[in-house]
A and B are shown apart, each in its own frame.
Chain A
Amino acid sequence: MSAIPAEILAGAERKPHRTSGWWGMIATIATEAALFAYLLFSYGYIAAQAPPPWPPVGAPELKLALPNTLVLLASSVTVWWAERRLSRRGDLRGCRRGFLATLAFGAVFIAVQLLEWHKKSFTPASHVYGSLYFTITGFHMAHVVAGWVMLAAVAWWLASGRAGPARPVPVAVSAVYWHFVDAVWLAVFTTFYLLPRLG
Chain B
Amino acid sequence: MVAVVGSNELGRRLDAQWERPRGLVGWLATVDHKEIGIRYLVTAFSFLVIGGVEALIMRLQLARPNAALLDPAEYNQLFTMHGVTMIFLYALPILSGFSNYLWPLLLGTRDMAFPRLNAFSYWVFLLSGIFIYVGFVTGHGPDAGWFNYVPYTSRAYDPGPNIDIYALGMVFFGISTTVGAVNFIVSLFKTRAPGMSVNRVPIMVWGTLTASFGNLAAVPAVSLAFLMLWLDRQFGTHFFDVEQNGRPLLWQHLFWMFGHPWVYAIVLPAMGIVSDALPVFCRRPLVGYTAVALSTVATIVLGFGVWLHHMFATGIPPLGLSFFSAASMAIVIPSAVAVFAWIATIWTGRPVRATPFLYFAGFVFLFVVGGVSGFMTAAVPLDWQLTDTYFVVAHIHYVLLGINVFPVLGGIHFWFPKMTGRLMSERLGRWSFWITFTGFNVAFLPMHLTGLLGMPRRIYTYPAGVGWDGLNMLTSIGAFVVALGVLLVVVNVIRSLKSGAIAGPNPWDAPTLEWATSSPPPPYNFLVIPTVASRHPLWENRLDETGERSSTRVGPALDHGREILRTTPLDAEPDGSVHMPEDSLLPLVTALVMLAGFAALLAHHWWLALAAAIGTAICTLVWLTPARPATLGAP
Least distance between B110 CB and chain A CB atoms (Å): 14
Least distance between A6 CB and chain B CB atoms (Å): 7
Least distance between B187 CB and chain A CB atoms (Å): 8
Q: Which one, B237, B626, B627, B635, contacts A131 given CB within 8 A? A: B237
Tell me which residues from 228 to 249 in chain B have a Cβ below 8 Å from any Cβ of chain A.
228, 231, 235-239, 241, 244-247
Q: Which residues of chain A are near B221, meaning CB under 8 Å?
A: 34, 38
Least distance between B467 CB and chain A CB atoms (Å): 42
Total A-B residue contacts, Cβ distance less than 8 Å: 153
Nearest residue, chain B, Cβ from A12: B576
Say whether A195 faces chain B, with CB atoms less than 8 Å apart: no
Least distance between A90 CB and chain B CB atoms (Å): 15
Least distance between A55 CB and chain B CB atoms (Å): 11
For the residues of A in contact with B, the DSSP-based class is helix
Say whether A114 faces chain B, with CB atoms less than 8 Å apart: no
Nearest residue, chain A, Cβ from B1: A3
Cα–Cα distance between A22 and B265 once the two chains are bound (Å): 25
Least distance between A145 CB and chain B CB atoms (Å): 9
Q: Which residues of chain A are near B239, meaning CB under 8 Å?
A: 42, 46, 128, 131-132, 135
Pair B235/A125 contact, Cβ less than 8 Å: yes
Pair A12/B629 contact, Cβ less than 8 Å: no
Stretch at the interface among A24-32, A69-77, A93-101, A105-113: A24-32
Say whether A57 faces chain B, with CB atoms less than 8 Å apart: no
Stretch at the interface among B277-285, B351-359, B551-559: B551-559
Say whether A49 faces chain B, with CB atoms less than 8 Å apart: yes
Q: Which residues of chain B are near A3, meaning CB under 8 Å?
A: 1-2, 556
Given A9-B556, A20-B186, A46-B245: A27 in contact with B626 (beta carbons within 8 A): no
Q: Which residues of chain A are near B178, meaning CB under 8 Å?
A: 31
Say whether B566 faces chain A, with CB atoms less than 8 Å apart: yes
Least distance between B571 CB and chain A CB atoms (Å): 13
Least distance between B593 CB and chain A CB atoms (Å): 16
Least distance between A3 CB and chain B CB atoms (Å): 5
Cα–Cα distance between A31 and B216 once the two chains are bound (Å): 5
Pair A167/B629 contact, Cβ less than 8 Å: yes
Least distance between A143 CB and chain B CB atoms (Å): 13
Stretch at the interface among A78-86, A158-166, A179-187: A158-166
Cα–Cα distance between A125 and B238 once the two chains are bound (Å): 7
Pair A161/B629 contact, Cβ less than 8 Å: yes
Pair B186/A9 contact, Cβ less than 8 Å: no
Say whether A65 faces chain B, with CB atoms less than 8 Å apart: no
Nearest residue, chain A, Cβ from B183: A24
Pair B628/A128 contact, Cβ less than 8 Å: no
Cα–Cα distance between A45 and B248 once the two chains are bound (Å): 11
Q: Which residues of chain A are near B120, meaning CB under 8 Å?
A: none
Pair A149/B617 contact, Cβ less than 8 Å: yes
Say whether A39 faces chain B, with CB atoms less than 8 Å apart: yes
Q: Which residues of chain A are near B254, meaning CB under 8 Å?
A: 38, 42
Q: Which residues of chain B are near A38, meaning CB under 8 Å?
A: 220-221, 224, 254, 257
Pair B228/A135 contact, Cβ less than 8 Å: yes
Say whether B574 faces chain A, with CB atoms less than 8 Å apart: yes
Q: Which residues of chain A are near B617, meaning CB under 8 Å?
A: 149
Cα–Cα distance between A79 and B207 once the two chains are bound (Å): 38
Pair A6/B1 contact, Cβ less than 8 Å: yes
Q: 19 new A-B pairs (CB below 8 Å) besides A31-B182, A127-B238?
A: A1-B531, A9-B576, A9-B577, A10-B635, A11-B576, A20-B190, A23-B185, A23-B186, A24-B113, A30-B216, A31-B220, A45-B247, A46-B245, A49-B245, A124-B236, A125-B235, A125-B238, A128-B239, A162-B629
Binding site for B on A (CB under 8 A): 1-4, 6, 8-13, 18-20, 23-24, 27-28, 30-32, 34-35, 38-39, 41-42, 45-46, 49-51, 124-125, 127-128, 130-132, 135, 149, 153, 157, 160-163, 166-167, 170
Q: Give the 5 A-B residue pairs with the shortest CB-CB distance, closest first.
A: A12-B576, A131-B237, A35-B220, A125-B236, A128-B238
Binding site for A on B (CB under 8 A): 1-2, 113-114, 178, 181-183, 185-186, 189-191, 194, 216-221, 223-224, 228, 231, 235-239, 241, 244-247, 250, 253-254, 257, 531, 551, 554-556, 565-566, 574-578, 617, 621, 624-629, 635
What are 21 A-B residue pairs whose CB atoms fall within 8 Å in the complex? A1-B554, A3-B2, A9-B574, A10-B576, A10-B577, A13-B576, A20-B114, A27-B185, A31-B178, A31-B220, A34-B221, A35-B223, A38-B221, A46-B250, A49-B247, A124-B231, A135-B237, A149-B621, A161-B628, A162-B627, A162-B628
